Structure 1
Amino acid sequence: MSESARGRPTAEDIERLLLGLPPRYTREQVSSRSGVSPDLAARIWRALGFAQRADDAVAFTDADVAALRRVRSMLHGGLLDEETVVRMARALGQTMARLAQWQAEIMTSAMLPPEPGDEDLAKMLDTAQGMLPDFEHVLIHVWRAQLAAAGTRLLALADLNDEPVPTRVPMAVGFADLVAFTRRARELDERELAALVEGFESRASDVAATHGARLVKTLGDEVLFTAPTAAQAAAIALDLVDADELRIGMAYGPVVPMMGDVFGTTVNLAARLTAIARPGTVLVDAELAGGLDGYELRKLRRRPARGLGVVQPYVLRRSTL
């Protein structure tokens, strides 16, 4: 590591550590060397989430050239078209940006004292340098494993719907919402609030994975999960709900999977049920209730749900028999 990094690390120190190679090329040069048109290269950088550089800025490395050459190879081989490449770049950029930010926050909170000095920052950068090869290896392994899991899910859905690539698939959708989050956020300091949210998300992720379901996304005080069957969704909800900490709404029906998220009336219905659920309760729609055995279901009065007409909610509980 450079002498400057022995004091307070600079942006150049961090880039040298993580990127390895120094910038050598302008936008025109990286496009020319890779064989990818300037327009497509610019679209890819934007999709990845990187700021646009001035035409004469030396901001690209040999690794950037190599990455674009791989893109050119896929395009020339007919494996992908330009629009698909840009969509894949956007998926990669958005996911990796969140992952990188999350990992950086975990590292700094775990390794730095409350009031870090320049020497603490330099030590953390040294540690990161030593851990980088292991992180990279694990990242690739987990990505491949998750890709295999996604492929397996798609294959199972295709078998259920008798379609090679189903556009609307039936599944259970659930929202779990932290009760009185705004009030609690006012009562907690920043560290306590961060611990509350991270603990909630961690627990939701673990419970969903345990029951073979998927945590689709987190929204601070709320998480969205999906499950192939009503029984899996019920098990997740009842494992999650705890006294007055959470309220959960779930529905079963067709959804449109897109960009790693899910959309459609079923998702909207689950959100509406969550909004009307009382603290410490799980509300489900009639479709999900009809797919359950061995649970206690209490029918509530029908009520209007904004944009969805009148719905029939059920309170879901574990069977006492």
Structure 2
Amino acid sequence: MAERRPTAEEIEQLLSGMPARYARHEVSARAGVSRELAERIWRALGFATLADDAVAFSDADVDALVRVRKMLDSELLDEETVIRMARALGQTTSRLAQWQAEIVIGRMLPQGDEPTAEDLGRVLRTAQKLLPDFERLLIHVWRAQLGAAGTRLLAIADLNDELVPSRVSLAVGFADLVSFTRRSRELDERELAALVEGFEARASDVVAVHGARLVKTLGDEVLFTAPTPARAAAIALDLVEAEELRIGLAYGPVLPVMGDVFGPTVNLAARLTAIAKPGTIVVDAALAEGLAGERGFVTHKLRRRPARGLGVVQPYVLRRSSL
């Protein structure tokens, strides 16, 4: 007998872990929170607003809201902080879930053919076996990343006398794949995806090796930060030796918001990337000054030039020194 194609409801229940039992008003009432707060939390987490009578919430959703209520009752967090934390959680886990699903499904389903019911059933059975281990691994990695973030904040506090300063001095780097537009026209979708994923993977590995942070990836470009000019320079040199890239580095104050970084230093690093020729690294005067006396690096002054929105800047080209 042929295997039946699983329904969307069956897939959602298997992966989410619990069956839907409650409508919107029921889940908020059971958790003891207002409907308004519950709806703000669901929106912040990235979930669509459903009809009032749609049965879409499980006992796990009730438990999550109960935990939020207890945090608020204890005054450990206020409502606006809860919403901001929910938004951070929703945006991060949405991308993570989509990415992991694409990896597993892309690995298990036949390429170019319509998946059969048997194919989908095999994927779901595999997911069911892997989920408990993935869940434990997710919690472990999150705790480890939280520890790393706390360590970075304490290191920044030593320099700025603030645990969470409004502005911090960091080295900011942009690395841009050369001729990406041309290459994207020559490759099919799968080849292009492999190119981008390979670039992001190598960049992530290099940044991690040097104890810095990959802030975000933008397809053909990555943005990273490092606590010192020397560490940023080492990352850039390793990256440019592994890929055909253009890299811009700048050092100075940045504003950290929502896991991202903003400010003139970030803009300057982006402008320097545009100045850089393929296979070269261009840095600003502050980063070049920070490398003075550091072994393994040499900078050469280029002609001054205007940078849009930033006035005239003094760029330097960065190379590895044999001394």
Scaled to the shorter chain, the TM-score interval is: over 0.9
* Cα distance, 1:242 vs structure 2: 3.4
* Cα distance, 1:12 vs structure 2: 1.3
Matching residue of 1:88: 85
* Cα distance, 1:13 vs structure 2: 1.6
Unaligned runs of at least 5 residues, structure 2: none
Matching residue of 2:182: 183
Confirm whether residue 237 of structure 1 aligns to residue 236 of structure 2.
yes
What is the SS of the residue equivalent to 2:303?
coil
1:4-55 CA-partner distances (Å, limit 9, x unpaired): 9x42222112112112221111111111110111101000000000000111
Find the aligned partners of 1:266 and 1:239 in 2 and give their Cα distance. Answer: 22
* Cα distance, 1:243 vs structure 2: 7.8
Matching residue of 1:141: 140
Confirm whether residue 59 of structure 1 aligns to residue 56 of structure 2.
yes
Matching residue of 1:164: 163
- Residues 300 and 316 in structure 2, CA contact (< 8 A), matched pair in contact too: yes
Matching residue of 2:36: 39
Q: How many residues in Structure 1 have an aligned counterpart in Structure 2?
A: 318
Find the aligned partners of 1:237 and 1:161 in 2 and give their Cα distance. Answer: 26
Inter-CA distance 44–232: structure 2 relative to 1 (3 Å threshold): same
* Cα distance, 1:124 vs structure 2: 0.9
Find the aligned partners of 1:314 and 1:43 in 2 and give their Cα distance. Answer: 48
Confirm whether residue 217 of structure 1 aligns to residue 209 of structure 2.
no
CA RMSD of aligned residues (A): 1.3
1:100-120 CA-partner distances (Å, limit 9, x unpaired): 000001001111221232211
Find the aligned partners of 2:160 and 2:139 in 1 and give their Cα distance. Answer: 31
Matching residue of 2:22: 25
Taking only the aligned residue pairs, the percentage that are identical comes to 76
Correspondences of 1:98-117 after superposition (within 5 Å): 98-114=95-111, 115=113, 116-117=115-116
Confirm whether residue 318 of structure 1 aligns to residue 315 of structure 2.
no
Find the aligned partners of 1:244 and 1:30 in 2 and give their Cα distance. Answer: 51
Find the aligned partners of 1:202 and 1:219 in 2 and give their Cα distance. Answer: 13
- Residues 244 and 279 in structure 1, CA contact (< 8 A), matched pair in contact too: no
Matching residue of 1:247: 246
Find the aligned partners of 1:226 and 1:40 in 2 and give their Cα distance. Answer: 36
Correspondences of 1:122-141 after superposition (within 5 Å): 122-141=121-140
Find the aligned partners of 1:22 and 1:112 in 2 and give their Cα distance. Answer: 26
- Residues 289 and 314 in structure 1, CA contact (< 8 A), matched pair in contact too: yes
- Residues 243 and 280 in structure 1, CA contact (< 8 A), matched pair in contact too: no
What is the SS of the residue equivalent to 1:131?
helix
Tell me which stretches of 4 or more aligned residues in structure 1 moved more than 3 Å: none
* Cα distance, 1:244 vs structure 2: 7.2
Q: TM-score, normalised by structure 2?
A: 0.96
Correspondences of 1:260-271 after superposition (within 5 Å): 260-271=259-270
What is the SS of the residue equivalent to 1:242?
helix
1:258-280 CA-partner distances (Å, limit 9, x unpaired): 10000001000000000111000
Inter-CA distance 296–17: structure 2 relative to 1 (3 Å threshold): same
Find the aligned partners of 2:76 and 2:184 in 1 and give their Cα distance. Answer: 49
Q: TM-score, normalised by structure 1?
A: 0.97
Find the aligned partners of 1:45 and 1:238 in 2 and give their Cα distance. Answer: 44
Find the aligned partners of 1:123 and 1:7 in 2 and give their Cα distance. Answer: 12
Matching residue of 1:303: 305
* Cα distance, 1:164 vs structure 2: 3.0
What is the SS of the residue equivalent to 2:317?
strand
Find the aligned partners of 1:19 and 1:264 in 2 and give their Cα distance. Answer: 39
- Residues 243 and 279 in structure 1, CA contact (< 8 A), matched pair in contact too: no
Matching residue of 1:227: 226
Matching residue of 1:10: 7
- Residues 284 and 316 in structure 1, CA contact (< 8 A), matched pair in contact too: yes
Find the aligned partners of 2:120 and 2:242 in 1 and give their Cα distance. Answer: 42
